Amino acid sequence: MIIVKRIAKGIAILVGVVLLAGVVFIASDWRFYKRLATFDRMKSMTDMAWYEPVVEVKPGTPPEISRATADTRTLSAELVDALESYAEENGSMSLLVWHKGALQMEWYGEGFDQYSYMESASMHKSVMALLYGIAIDQGYIPSVDEPASTYLTEWKDDARSKITIRNMLQMAHGLARASGGFNPLGDNMKLGMGTDWGGIALKSLAEDPPNTVFAYSNLNSQLLGLILQRATGMPYAEFLQKSLWSKVGESSARVWLDRPGGLAKTSGSLFTPPRNWLRLGLLHLNKGRVGDEQVVPEAWIEQVITPSPNNPNYGFQTWLGTEYRPKVDYGKGVAAHVPHSESFEARDVVYFDGANGQRVYVIPSEDLVIVRMGEGGLDFQTGAFRWDEPKLPNLIIRGLRQAANEGA
C-alpha cells in the first residue's frame, strides 16, 4: 500500500511539473499560442476581431468616384445578371467593376456592404510595391538596386549582402524558405502568427544566387516591410498613411502587428473596404495619379509592371498577364498554383493576387478595373486554388465588347 501511495505521489508530482512547464512555455509567447489555438480558416477573411493588435491608417479626401448614369452605363443588364450569378456561385463577398470613367457595378454578398473590412491576403504586397516608389522618390532609398543589407545590417557579412532591393521586389532573392511547414512550433507558423515576424524572416539564409530563381515568399515581403521601416525611420503604418493612404483612401485601413508597437504584416493583412481597393487599381490605371496629384511617380508604375527576368508574369510584388500558362505557379518551394483555363482577352492585364481569389485587375487597354473579394480555397490534393484566373476578367471584357458592337 505504501508503494502504491509513493507511486501515485510521484505521478502527481510529475504531472504537476509537466503542467507547470507547459504553462511557463505557453506564457513565454502567449499571444502566438492564443492565435494558433483560436485561428479559424473559414472565418479568417472577415473576423477582424481575431487580428490584434492593429493600427489604423487614416484616410484623406480623394476625389469622388463617378457612378454610371443612364448615359455612361456600359454593362448590359444581361452582363450584370451574369456577373451577379458568377459572384454568388464563387462565394464572393464583393464585386466592383469600373469602366470608362465610372463605377458600373458595385455588388455585395449577403452580410457585406461598402463599409465591410476584409482580409486582403497577399494583395498587400502590391500596395507595398507602390510605397517603394514613393520612398525612392522622397530620398529615403537611393535606388531599387541598393543592397538590402544597407538596411538589413544583419546580412552585411554573408552571402545575403549581394541581394538587392530589386531582387526582393521581383521575388528573386535566393533566400531559403522558413522551416517547419505546418508544424505549430516551426518558423513558418511563427512567421504567419507569431510575435517576431522580422526576427524569424531575418534568420533565413541564402540558398540560391540572387536573380536566378523565382521563389514567391511571404518571408521576403516581410523583410521588404522591415526595410521600409528602417529606411524611413517611421513605423510602416505611419509611412503608408502619410505617403499613400492620405491621398488615395476614402476610408481607413488597418494594419496587423506582430505585437504591440511591433512590425506590420506586410506579406498580407491590409484590411480595408473594397472601394479602397478600387481606388488603388485606379491609381495604377492613371499611372500614379489621384486627381491632379502625382502620388506615385509614373516611371515607377512602369517599373512595377515590367516583367521580371525570372518570371514574365511578375513585376514588382505585382502579377502580370504577359504570358499564357495553363497553371501559373508561385515558383520554387511552393506546390500551389492558379489554373488558367484560357489566355486573358487583353494582353496588358495587371493584377493584385491574394489567396482565395482576392483580386484587383487593372486592364488599361479596356479602361477597366475589377475588384473581387471573397472565398476560394485550395485543393490540397491537386495544389490548385479554386480560382480560374482569366474567367472573371474575360467574362467582363467579352460582355463589354459585345455590348459595344451591338450599340455601334
Q: pLDDT, tens digit, for every residue of 222-248? A: 999 999 999 999 999 999 999 999 999
User: Whose CA is closest to 250, among 28, 57, 20?
Assistant: 57
Q: How far lies 366's CA from each of 38, 76, 181, 251, 369, in Å?
A: 44, 16, 41, 27, 9
How far apart, in whole angstroms, are the C-alpha atoms of residue 148 and residue 165? 5
User: Whose CA is closest to 198, among 166, 161, 228, 170?
Assistant: 228
Residues of the chain where predicted confidence (pLDDT) is lower than 70: 1, 4-6, 8, 10, 12-28, 380, 407-408
In this structure, the number of other CB atoms found within 10 A of the CB of residue 289 comes to: 16
Check residue 321 and give its pLDDT: 97
Check residue 23 and give its pLDDT: 44
Name the percent of the chain lying above pLDDT 70: 92
Instruction: Write out the DSSP string of 20-44.
Output: HHHHHHHHTTHHHHHHHHH--TTTT
394 with 324: CB under 8 angstroms?
no
The grid coordinates listed for 50 are 481575431
Q: How far is CA 272 from the centre of its chain?
A: 12
Check residue 279 and give its pLDDT: 98
In this structure, the number of other CB atoms found within 10 A of the CB of residue 41 comes to: 8
Residue 361: strand, helix, or coil: strand
Domains of the chain in start order, with CATH, are 44-407 (3.40.710.10)
Positive or negative: CA dihedral 36, 37, 41, 43: negative
**Residue range 199-218, pLDDT digits in tens:** 999 999 999 999 999 999 99
276 with 131: CB under 8 angstroms?
no
**Residue range 37-56, pLDDT digits in tens:** 998 877 788 888 999 999 99
Check residue 408 and give its pLDDT: 53
**How would you label 301-336 residue by residue, b for 16+ Cβ within 10 Å and e otherwise?**
bebbbeebebbebbbbbbbbbbeeeeebbbebeeeb
Check residue 2 and give its pLDDT: 73
Kindly state the DSSP code that residue 304 receives in the 8-state scheme: H
Predicted model pTM: 0.93
Check residue 26 and give its pLDDT: 58
Backbone angles phi, psi at 200, to 5 degrees: -65, -45
The grid coordinates listed for 321 are 498577364
Quote the Cα angle for 45-47-48, to 5°: 100
How far apart, in whole angstroms, are the C-alpha atoms of residue 295 and residue 280? 11
